[in-house]
């Protein structure tokens, strides 16, 4: 075993945003192990202050290019809760459909562009286009379909347009939805092929008991709706999220960290599977069985597989939403206005973004102007867990060559699918 080791990985590649990893081992002991977040902070809370309520979702979508639909959805839910607005069933179905599209898009992007190159010893998807053309093409096709879902509903997948306070400002054509449904059903074969590939790749043995938090709902796998739930502490009331999930700052990160009463916790696909496995669609359950998953998932490397299992579910769910939309008959609907005599108020919107539970919390005054905003981002909630896992994982690698350690460390960080741009856009400090 090596006694001394110093590795600094400057700007981890194939993650969204800028982060460094610093590892310093002296005499076989970890002296320093940090995930430095060096992304420039953007100060979204301040950006939102003084803006009109119907600009909020437009501004907050810009927190992240990958999970723009999630930020928009959480933002809309917060605005609508604060101002007592309700939306039609059609609007809800359309929003949920776009949500499915984004989650598939994000998972596929992560798996094919960021994770699979690791598994195949490549640096990016580019060499895979020639070395593994079928696999690479499968990824591109799945991703294109997911983007199309968002585009048909929202106008585009990066910063969707039609998702607006009080409803959805554009009604898609039935023919477009039918085309999507056909493509969704055809994409199961591609997901099966991907599952065959991923289940054959050995996963590093690194199980560690952990607290997992996600939304939980009755009757549906919670993505767009539900209540936060910890597998250790039970249900978390929306109003008490800031006391149960406490954010704090560290000097080596422009993104905040977070902890619960018991300390470190994890959010994301793995956490959702742990808390809601029973609610997955039959196809997703079958896929999990095929992959040999056993619950609870305690190995962070399994987050990749959890994302793929979710893709099966999301594809089923998207197809179901399309059926319901067509059954109900698509009609053009105006978006609803805030209720009369609105005196100002606070609203909390919580969704399961691809990377985990996302909270938006706004205070809006009687003129519809945002006075205060707070946002808790999935990656910020995971940073402490990533560092804890690294601290446990690196010592198991110390007898390996340096390059392998470096690769192992990056692979672990990537498995969390961190979105560093998002996490540096956090707002409002609450002191611990």
Partner 1 sequence: MPENAEKIRPKAAFFSFTCCEGCQLAVLSCEDELPDILRALNIVYFREAMTEKRVEPSQREDYDIAFVEGSVTTQKEITKLKHIRKKAKTVIALGACSSTGGLNCLKNRFPMDFVKKTVYGKYAEKYKKTFETLPVRPIDSIIKVDCYLHGCPISKTEFLSAFTALLMGKTPITQNYPVCVDCKMAGNICVFEKGMTCLGPVTRAGCDAVCVTYGCICWGCRGLVDDPNVSAHKETLKRYGLTAESMLRSFDLYGNCSLRKSGSLGVRPAKK
Q: Interface with partner 1 by CB under 8 A: which residues?
A: 10-11, 13-18, 39-43, 45-52, 55, 58-59, 62-66, 68, 109, 113, 117, 122-126, 129, 140-141, 143-144, 147, 154-159, 161-162, 164, 168-170, 249-254, 335, 421-422, 426-429, 431
* Nearest distance, CB of residue 1 and partner 1, angstroms: 27
* Nearest distance, CB of residue 118 and partner 1, angstroms: 8
* Nearest distance, CB of residue 164 and partner 1, angstroms: 7
Question: What is the Cα–Cα distance from 328 to 359, expressed in whole angstroms?
Answer: 31
* Nearest distance, CB of residue 391 and partner 1, angstroms: 21
* Nearest distance, CB of residue 2 and partner 1, angstroms: 24
Close Cβ partners of 275 (under 8 Å, ≥ 6 residues apart): 212, 213, 214, 216, 229, 231
* Nearer to partner 1 (CB atom), residue 275 or residue 423: 423
> Is residue 296 reached through a cis peptide bond, with omega within 30 degrees of 0 on the bond before it?
yes
* Nearer to partner 1 (CB atom), residue 59 or residue 183: 59
* Nearer to partner 1 (CB atom), residue 124 or residue 328: 124
* Nearest distance, CB of residue 262 and partner 1, angstroms: 24
Question: What is the Cα–Cα distance from 224 to 214, expressed in whole angstroms?
Answer: 12
Candidates 79, 3, 30; CA nearest to 409 is 30
At residue 196's C-alpha, the angle toward residues 193 and 199, to 5°, is 145
* Nearer to partner 1 (CB atom), residue 50 or residue 341: 50
* Nearer to partner 1 (CB atom), residue 50 or residue 219: 50
* Nearer to partner 1 (CB atom), residue 270 or residue 422: 422
Name the β-bridge partners of 419: 16
* Nearest distance, CB of residue 226 and partner 1, angstroms: 26
* Nearest distance, CB of residue 375 and partner 1, angstroms: 10
Close Cβ partners of 92 (under 8 Å, ≥ 6 residues apart): none
* Nearest distance, CB of residue 422 and partner 1, angstroms: 8
* Nearer to partner 1 (CB atom), residue 143 or residue 272: 143
* Nearer to partner 1 (CB atom), residue 42 or residue 244: 42
* Nearest distance, CB of residue 283 and partner 1, angstroms: 24
* Nearer to partner 1 (CB atom), residue 277 or residue 362: 362
* Nearer to partner 1 (CB atom), residue 211 or residue 417: 417
* Nearer to partner 1 (CB atom), residue 52 or residue 391: 52
* Nearest distance, CB of residue 279 and partner 1, angstroms: 30
């Amino acid at each position: 075993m090596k006694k001394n080791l110093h590795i600094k990985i400057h700007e981890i590649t194939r993650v969204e945003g800028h982060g460094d990893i610093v590892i310093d081992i002296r005499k076989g002991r970890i002296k320093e192990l940090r995930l430095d977040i060096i992304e420039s902070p953007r100060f979204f809370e301040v950006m939102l202050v003084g803006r009109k309520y119907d600009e909020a979702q437009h501004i907050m979508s810009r927190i992240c290019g990958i999970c723009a639909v999630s930020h928009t959805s959480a933002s809309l839910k917060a605005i609508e809760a604060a101002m007592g607005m309700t939306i039609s069933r059609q609007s809800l179905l359309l929003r949920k459909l776009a949500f499915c599209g984004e989650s598939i898009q994000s998972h596929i992007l992560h798996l094919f562009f960021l994770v699979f190159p690791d598994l195949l010893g490549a640096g990016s998807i580019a060499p895979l286009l020639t070395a593994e053309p079928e696999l690479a093409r499968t990824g591109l096709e799945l991703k294109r379909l997911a983007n199309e879902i968002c585009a048909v509903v929202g106008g585009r997948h990066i910063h969707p347009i039609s998702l607006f306070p009080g409803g959805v400002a554009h009604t898609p054509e039935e023919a477009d939805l039918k085309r999507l449904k056909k493509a969704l059903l055809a994409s199961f074969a591609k997901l099966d092929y991907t599952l065959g590939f991923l289940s054959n790749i050995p996963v590093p043995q690194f199980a560690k008991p952990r607290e997992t938090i996600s939304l939980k709902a009755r009757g549906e796998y919670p993505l767009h709706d539900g209540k936060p739930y910890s597998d250790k502490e039970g249900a978390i009331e929306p109003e008490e999220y800031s006391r149960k999930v406490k954010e704090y700052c560290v000097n080596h990160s422009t993104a905040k960290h977070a902890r619960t009463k018991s300390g470190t916790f994890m959010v994301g696909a793995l956490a959702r599977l742990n808390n809601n496995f029973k609610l997955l669609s039959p196809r997703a359950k079958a896929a999990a069985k095929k992959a040999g998953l056993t619950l609870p998932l305690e190995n962070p490397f399994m987050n990749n597989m959890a994302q793929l299992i979710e893709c099966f579910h999301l594809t089923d769910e998207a197809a179901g939403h399309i059926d319901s939309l067509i059954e109900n008959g698509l009609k053009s609907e105006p978006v609803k206005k805030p209720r009369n005599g609105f005196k100002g108020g606070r609203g909390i919107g919580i969704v399961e973004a691809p990377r985990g539970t996302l909270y938006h919390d706004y205070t809006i005054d009687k003129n519809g102007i945002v006075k205060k905003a707070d946002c808790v981002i999935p990656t910020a909630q995971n940073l402490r867990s990533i560092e804890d896992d690294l601290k446990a994982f690196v010592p198991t690698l110390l007898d390996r060559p340096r390059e392998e350690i470096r690769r192992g460390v990056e692979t672990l960080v990537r498995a969390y699918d961190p979105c560093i741009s998002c996490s540096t856009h956090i707002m409002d400090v609450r002191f611990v």
